[in-house]
Amino acid sequence: MVGGRSVDLCPTVAVKVFSAGTAGCVADLVTFPLDTAKVRLQVQGESRPSLDGSRMKYRGVFGTMFTMVRTEGPRSLYSGLVAGLHRQMSFASVRIGLYDSMKQLYTRGSESCLPNITRNAIVNCSELVTYDIIKELILKKDLMTDNMPCHFTAAFAAGFCTTVVASPVDVVKTRFMNSVPGQYSGAANCAFTMLIKEGPTSFYKGFVPSFLRLVSWNIVMFVSYEQIKRAVMTFQQPRNSY
């Protein structure tokens, strides 16, 4: 190791997959309550308050979390966490760990549930591509070095872009998957019903918790991913003394 520059070595696919899966789990542990609150707010919009004057149970992301803790206990914020961690180890490890390899394959080294599938495809494209493009732009313009501030900035931008692009699909997916049987004939019918009954703004129901969750998830995940990847590479490199 000369001058401590182990980061110049190219990590293997196995290192990337392991680092991505681990980082995904770390990000889920940090941001899971925000995701839970987001889903509660989105599902709550399934119907308007009834004529008898009943009020909305949840208001705002932090108000939702407080209500959940008060009425259901703190553990309710992490309901489904085990399944979420399993998903990250099998999903994030592949989609993020193999991203560089797939990009190199299709660019040849040049530098130039249907609703659920749609949502994941949009999130993956906006998340990974935005992070990659902004990170490369920052490095090419010499605005920052390839270190934590650069990773933080690129991850924040990726989270914001993903929220803007994916929120409508995410809301439709959540509404559709939590609807009673027969309520909607399909995801398109669900979207059309939302548009007619609640207007265009309904597609951004729960935008703030979605933004907080995706931005914080991206920051924790990508920063952790970069650091874990470097740590594994440093550990694998032979200890040479000069």
Residue range 110-128, pLDDT digits in tens? 443 766 666 666 667 778 8
pLDDT tier, 98 (very low <50, low <70, confident <90, very high otherwise):
low
The rounded distance, in Å, linking the Cα atoms of 38 and 68 is: 12
Residue 150 or residue 123, greater confidence? 150
Q: Across the chain, what does the average pLDDT equal?
A: 79
16 vs 78, residue with greater confidence: 78
pLDDT above 90 covers a percentage of the chain that reads 18
What is residue 14's predicted lDDT score, i.e. its pLDDT? 79
Asked whether the CA dihedral 136, 140, 146, 151 is positive or negative, the reply is negative
Mean pLDDT of 142-150: 92
Q: Give pLDDT, residue 104.
A: 63
Q: Is 64 exposed, middle or buried (0-12, 13-18, 19+ CB in 10 A)?
A: buried
* Three-class DSSP category at 5: coil
Determine the pLDDT at residue 2.
Answer: 37
pLDDT at 4: 42
84: burial class by Cβ within 10 Å (0-12, 13-18, 19+)? buried
pLDDT tens string 34-68? 888 888 887 775 544 444 445 667 777 888 889 99
